[in-house]
């Protein structure tokens, strides 16, 4: 089993992206959804922007749906009610705010070496659901269009929004498909038994672990028939949490899925899993060890260190796969492998 990093990693870094306003800086360019479109590899990169830091203060940048405006809110660290949590979040009067606001930005390439990044967002906050950002888009080519699912964070929680596009120019936001707190929704590229299928990931609590779930839908709007596909395994590299990655890939052996997991210390890696073509709520086989782990400098240190997280994989006709991933919650990188290697890993 071989997964090889591209020589030109990282592919996209914060320095490559023009901020949307002059008083913010690009904090991260991560977790791209991926699709083939018009002969190009197209990524929908999560671009996190944050107010330029000031000493002794924290700041949030929040979309105000009523005013259709993005506001910067600064708080002194010694102000009552302000509690710094980590470099990504803080509390203000018990409410959680993010230090950055994410949107989804398109990057394109014909050779995987040279990337052109759009000057403006493709999907940005435009509703109260998204007041704290649009994160981690997954793209599924489905029938005659593309379906994009992404995490909509805001004062109504961490919900999952579904949007559709045919051209990656106009996006039709179709509403919330998974209710707070949920993320990691990956829609399958085909109907199974007449219904659409997705993976999703309700949040961990002191009742339940962070598991990968399956749901079905007649129309992409209404979802149900929920079940749990995979739970964390105590004492292993996936003890802390598991979550779906990119949309599953149809192979003769089953649905091939490259998912993410974190161990008890929060170190993220990728695993591979094979699920039943006709019963995607059933696992056939799964890799016993990670197929990919943080090792490169840009994976080991950053906004969130020791992290590789993939939600975009592209397949080529020759059986090769390109795994795009966010590294250390800071940059976008990629690695190549093959379907055959991944199937072998599932069965090892």
Binding site for a second copy (CB under 8 A): 91, 94-96, 132, 153-159, 175-182, 200, 202, 205-209, 211, 213, 216-219, 221-228
Q: Which is nearer to a second copy, 153 or 272 (CB)?
A: 153
Q: Give dist(CA 263, CA 67) in Å, integer.
A: 42
In angstroms, give the least distance from the CB of 81 to a second copy. Answer: 13
Parallel, antiparallel or unpaired: strands 320-327 and 249-251: unpaired
Smaller CB distance to a second copy: residue 213 or 325?
Answer: 213
Q: Cβ closer to a second copy: 53 or 234? A: 234
- What is the b/e burial string over 285-310, where b = at least 16 CB atoms within 10 angstroms of the residue's CB? bbbeebbbebeeebbeebbbbbbbbb
- Taking CA atoms, 63 is separated from 79, 95, 132, 231, 257, in Å, by 23, 16, 6, 35, 34
Q: Using an 8 Å Cβ cutoff, are 93 and 73 in contact?
A: no
Minimum CB distance to a second copy, residue 94 (Å) = 6
Kindly state the smallest distance separating residue 222's Cβ from a second copy, in Å. Answer: 4
Residue 2 burial by CB count (10 A; 0-12/13-18/19+): exposed, middle or buried? exposed
Residue 280 backbone phi and psi in degrees, to 5: -65, -5
Q: What's the residue count for the chain?
A: 348
Cβ atoms of 327 and 11 closer than 8 Å: no
CB of 97 to a second copy, least distance (A): 9
For the bound state, the minimum distance from the C-beta of residue 45 to a second copy, rounded and expressed in Å, comes to 24
Whichever of 264 and 340 has its CB closer to a second copy, that residue is 264
Return the number of the residue (112 or 264) whose C-beta is nearest a second copy.
Answer: 264
Helix (H) or strand (E) holding 26, with range, is strand 24-37
Residue 227: how many CB atoms within 10 A of its CB? 10
Residues 182, 187, 191, 196: what is their CA dihedral angle, to the nearest 10 degrees? 30
Please, what's the b/e burial string for 235-258 (b: 16 or more CB within 10 A of its CB; e: otherwise)?
A: eebbbbbbbbbbbbbebebbbbbb
Nearer to a second copy, 182 or 275 (CB): 182
Which residue, 240 or 290, is less far from a second copy as judged by CB? 240
Cβ proximity to a second copy, 63 vs 115, nearer residue: 63
Contact 338, 323 (CB under 8 A): no
> What's the min distance (Å) between Cβ of 55 and a second copy?
26
* Smallest distance, a second copy to C-beta of residue 172, A: 15
What's the min distance (Å) between Cβ of 228 and a second copy? 6
């Amino acid at each position: 089993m071989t997964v090889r990093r591209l020589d030109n990693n990282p592919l996209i870094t914060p320095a490559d992206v023009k901020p949307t306003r002059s008083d913010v800086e690009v904090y991260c360019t991560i977790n791209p959804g991926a699709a083939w479109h018009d002969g190009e590899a197209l990524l929908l990169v999560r671009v996190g922007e944050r107010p330029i830091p000031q000493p002794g203060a924290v700041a949030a940048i929040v979309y105000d749906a009523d005013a259709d405006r993005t506001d910067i809110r600064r708080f002194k660290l010694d102000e009552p009610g302000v509690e710094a949590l980590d470099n990504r979040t803080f509390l203000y009067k018990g409410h959680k705010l993010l230090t950055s606001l994410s949107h989804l930005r398109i990057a394109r390439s014909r050779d995987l070496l040279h990337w052109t990044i759009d000057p403006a967002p493709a999907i940005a906050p435009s509703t109260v659901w998204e007041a704290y950002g649009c994160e981690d888009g997954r793209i599924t080519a489905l029938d005659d269009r593309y379906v994009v699912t992404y995490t909509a964070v805001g004062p109504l929680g961490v919900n999952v929004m579904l949007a559709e596009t045919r051209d990656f120019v106009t996006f039709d936001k179709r509403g919330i498909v998974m209710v707070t707190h949920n993320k990691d929704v990956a829609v399958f590229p085909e109907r199974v038994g007449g219904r659409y299928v997705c993976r999703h990931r309700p949040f961990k609590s002191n009742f339940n672990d962070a598991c990968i779930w399956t749901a079905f839908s007649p129309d992409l709007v209404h979802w149900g028939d929920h079940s749990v596909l995979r739970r964390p395994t105590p004492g292993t590299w996936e003890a802390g949490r598991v979550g779906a990655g990119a949309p599953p890939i149809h192979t003769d052996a089953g649905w091939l899925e490259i998912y993410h997991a974190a161990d008890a210390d929060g170190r993220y890696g990728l695993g591979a899993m094979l699920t039943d073509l006709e019963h995607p709520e059933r696992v056939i086989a799964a890799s016993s060890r990670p197929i990919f782990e943080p090792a490169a400098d840009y994976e080991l240190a950053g906004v969130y260190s020791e992290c590789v997280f993939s939600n975009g994989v592209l397949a080529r006709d020759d059986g090769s796969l390109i795994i795009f991933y966010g590294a250390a919650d800071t940059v976008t990188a990629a690695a190549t492998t093959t379907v055959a290697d991944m199937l072998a890993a599932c069965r090892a």
